[in-house]
Chain A
């Protein structure tokens, strides 16, 4: 009984946090892209556009939902479900933090740890292909079908270098359980598998990240929705909440890839440098810095309303910084902070790349996967296995 309650509570917390993250990720993306292009980004709905995600949800819910008569109705409806369900499912094996004691219960900050965790994530992501392939096929639209075909071919092509890149750090960790992979890495930068001797996994980290960009259909691999040739690709015929489902699936996949990268290569919840050297003070310092910046800009406002909003943010940031200094809070929150910081940085990279790079041509994309990434991943695996065996 207790087990069921704990599982339900964990599932509810993870789901709620994930949904909020997905909603605000989109806000962050629009803001960052806007600033890269010297624009303001969303700024009308709420202070600094912070209520924009809510407005978007209301808009999408109240939009008319067209189901064209030429579609294959069952699969047309099934596809967005499949896409979003598979995208959300893989988060259930991600370890967000170490073991904590809350209200007398000792529990891991992870929904469940499978001893085939890595393969589970691969399996779920490979089922995500069907959401896109079926959407393209069921829409009975030329652009949608081409987009769906291209996208599924792209996703399976990049899955190969991705699994090879995963296998290399596993030679060091010798386990498929995500929790044990994190535990096999240490609490400083040079004990993470990306820099860990004898076989630093820098190359597989880069391969994994590139393949992750392709798996999530993000720029520069967003061929399936190359709007100048394919309108909107596989979701051309989707509107309202069904369109939102594909959108959400893309963002959820981004979150999964970021989490997996930080677990496999960046030490998961492990800090940048040991606690004994004061890594617990990094988070309060960062929040204090953010607070001071807000305060400074609030006192020298660029726009009139900044005079009121920015000091409020400053107060919130200082409050968080103070709370994080308390040892009982720090013990629970610090692993979460490090995990979120790493995953957040990778998510920022996703957005950064989108603001910077142009799109590949399709033959370049396939050539890149098969003629460059795949042989490099195989060689990297061979070198890694030799290094691990020699030392």
Chain B
């Protein structure tokens, strides 16, 4: 009962935040609405007993990436962009794309509806028995060891890329 209420609250936050993100004309407003949407996603993780993911979602996306977004927005002068017309003449095309993609998603959901069934009691019991973070650690450092190390190489590439882009002289 309580979980259902919280689910709809978080879902509203996700969807409402997402819609506001693309409809606000001011970039800062969009960024803040995106933060709201990401908070909602974190809440949904929490309802799924993915506590580690819940915390990481907030620390990384909201505490890191969105701060970066805000800095970038303040870095470039977006006032010009905000004054221009938001919608150009292509919205019929956009609508057609939305309908096609929406139908596709609906079709896949109908076809694979059985694939996402998860016994909620079992999942909850498993995470209560050993703790969500421990479960993630076990998976990460045994089965997914190679992807984990590759991720650190990927981050190295990101360091190089960001410095190259931001510094004029290398």
Contact = CB atoms under 8 A, between A and B. Distances in A.
B51 A114 contact: yes
Contacts of B70: 133, 137, 152
A130 B31 CA distance: 11
B63 A156 contact: yes
Interface in B64-92: 64, 67, 70-71, 74
Nearest to A118: B55
Contacts of A176: 133
A178 interface: no
Contacts of B56: 119
Interface in A104-133: 114-116, 119-120, 122-124, 126-127, 129-130, 133
A287 B121 CA distance: 52
B23 to A, nearest CB: 15
A127 B67 CA distance: 10
A127 B133 contact: no
A156 B59 contact: no
Contacts of A149: 71, 74
Interface string B41-67: 000000000011011101100111001
B67 A123 contact: no
A222 interface: no
B51 A159 contact: no
A83 interface: no
Contact of A126 (B51, B52, B64, B132): B64
A129 B131 CA distance: 29
A123 B32 contact: no
B51 A123 contact: no
B131 A122 contact: no
A134 interface: yes
A75 interface: yes
Contacts of B131: 115
Contact of A130 (B35, B52, B74, B133): B35
Contacts of A127: 58, 62-63
Interface residues of B, number: 20
A322 to B, nearest CB: 44
A137 B55 contact: no
B51 A115 contact: yes
B55 A120 contact: yes
A30 B56 CA distance: 38
A75 B70 CA distance: 14
A116 B32 contact: no
Contacts of A122: 55, 59, 63
A134 B67 CA distance: 11
B15 interface: no
B11 interface: no
Given A134-B32, A149-B74, A176-B133, A116 B55 contact: yes
Contacts of B64: 126, 156
Contact of A116 (B28, B63, B74, B132): B132
Interface in A127-157: 127, 129-130, 133-134, 137, 145, 149, 152-153, 156
Contact of B67 (A114, A115, A116, A156): A156
A133 B71 CA distance: 10
Contact of A115 (B28, B32, B71, B132): B132
B25 to A, nearest CB: 13
Interface of B: 28, 32, 35, 51-52, 54-56, 58-59, 62-64, 67, 70-71, 74, 131-133
